[in-house]
Amino acid sequence: MSKLGLAAVLVGSLALGGCMQATLSPVNDAAMTLRDKQLLAHTPYTEVKVPEQFQRHIVEYTRREQPGSILVDTDKRYLYYVLPGGKAIRYGVAVGEEAMAFSGVATVGRLAEWPDWVPTKDIQERLGPYPARVAGGPANPLGARGIYLYQGNKDTLYRIHGTNQPEYIGQAISSGCIRMTNADVIDLYQRVKPGAVVVVLPPGQSA
């Protein structure tokens, strides 16, 4: 998508609010592979029950994003995967702290299962030291799936990904990326396609 096209999507998205609070039904568990089940059977972290409002549901959706696109409401800590017919799947997420959060329009540039984590220089300086590369697995901060956000052909270095800290879903705690529970990111990964538009609303622009 051209810069002009992305800008048009962003302007339309920011200008059009709408009520997306009507919960229609919960969504069944994601279809996990045998590898997913094996890796998630022995996680090195404590499983927690995500609060009801941040559990996966099908909801009414009145904005103009096209089916197959993603909207992240930073203020409300929700990610919407847009479905046909005025509906969306709403997932609870953890978002970046305000000074580090990504906002704007991107596209899905790459998808990966159980991705390796390569800490950025900034993360190494602020939070490290970490190994130069952390192999994919249940202890990896990227969790079960990585959805890589690009602008044009450039990797923004921001991701939608799983987590090994599910207790933070619903908070602004990350270093800028959008975290989901592993079950939720597996579910989203099965739906989203390369090239899909991802709109991340900045703080103060809640849907």
Contact 98, 203 (CB under 8 A): yes
Of 72, 7, 105, 83, nearest in space to 205 by CA: 72
Angle at 150 (CA atoms; ends 132, 202), nearest 5 degrees: 100
Strand partners, 161: 146, 179
Residues annotated as catalytic are 161, 177
Backbone angles phi, psi at 77, to 5 degrees: 65, 45
Which residues have C-beta within 8 Å of that of residue 103, sequence separation ≥ 6?
A: 74, 200, 201, 202, 203, 205
HSE-CB for 142 with a 13 A CA cutoff: 22
Of 116, 118, 137, nearest in space to 128 by CA: 118
